[in-house]
Amino acid sequence: MTLPEDWIEHRREDGEPVGWIVPDGGGFRPMDFLGRPVGGAPVEWLEAEEALDARGLGFLADRHRLKLADGTERPVRISQAGPDGIVVVADEFGAASAVGAQADEFHLRFPAPEELLLNEG
């Protein structure tokens, strides 16, 4: 995917990109590194920056779940993320981090589809 022209990259203080700020009506909508909105309604520019800085990139290292076409879910970890797409690897029993593991890979579109769910708990 090519990012829309109105998506403005936001970098944290150390220069690392953490998301985008998108004009939305009279305000701005922060979008995280997976291209998903952070928060609800549009906010002021500084609030959008603060939301992205607070969200950071740490959530990318968390376990997620991928809902497959047959309705089953697999635990996954994100191995690559950006406007060119998202790659997740199966993580049953921590297999994604095992040296030499041949975990299943799934290539997803950007922004992240609804089927990619944060593992709550």
Contacts of 42 (CB under 8 A, 6+ apart): 24, 25, 26, 27, 28, 29
Q: What does the pLDDT look like over 46-100, one tens digit per residue?
A: 999 999 999 999 999 999 999 999 999 999 999 999 999 999 999 887 655 544 5
Q: What is the pLDDT of residue 118?
A: 84
Token code pair at residue 1: 């995917």
Q: What does the pLDDT look like over 35-51, one tens digit per residue?
A: 999 998 999 999 999 99
Contacts of 121 (CB under 8 A, 6+ apart): none
The single residue listed with the structure tokens 């291209």 is 35
Cα dihedral 79, 75, 36, 49 sign: negative
Which residues share a beta bridge with 24? 27
Q: What is the pLDDT of residue 95?
A: 55
| Spatial separation of the C-alpha atoms in residues 104 and 3, rounded to whole Å | 28
| Spatial separation of the C-alpha atoms in residues 64 and 107, rounded to whole Å | 14
Higher-confidence position of 88 and 102: 88
Contacts of 79 (CB under 8 A, 6+ apart): 87, 88, 89, 96, 105
With beta carbons less than 8 A apart as the criterion, state whether 91 and 77 touch.
yes
Residue 7, pLDDT above cutoff 80: yes
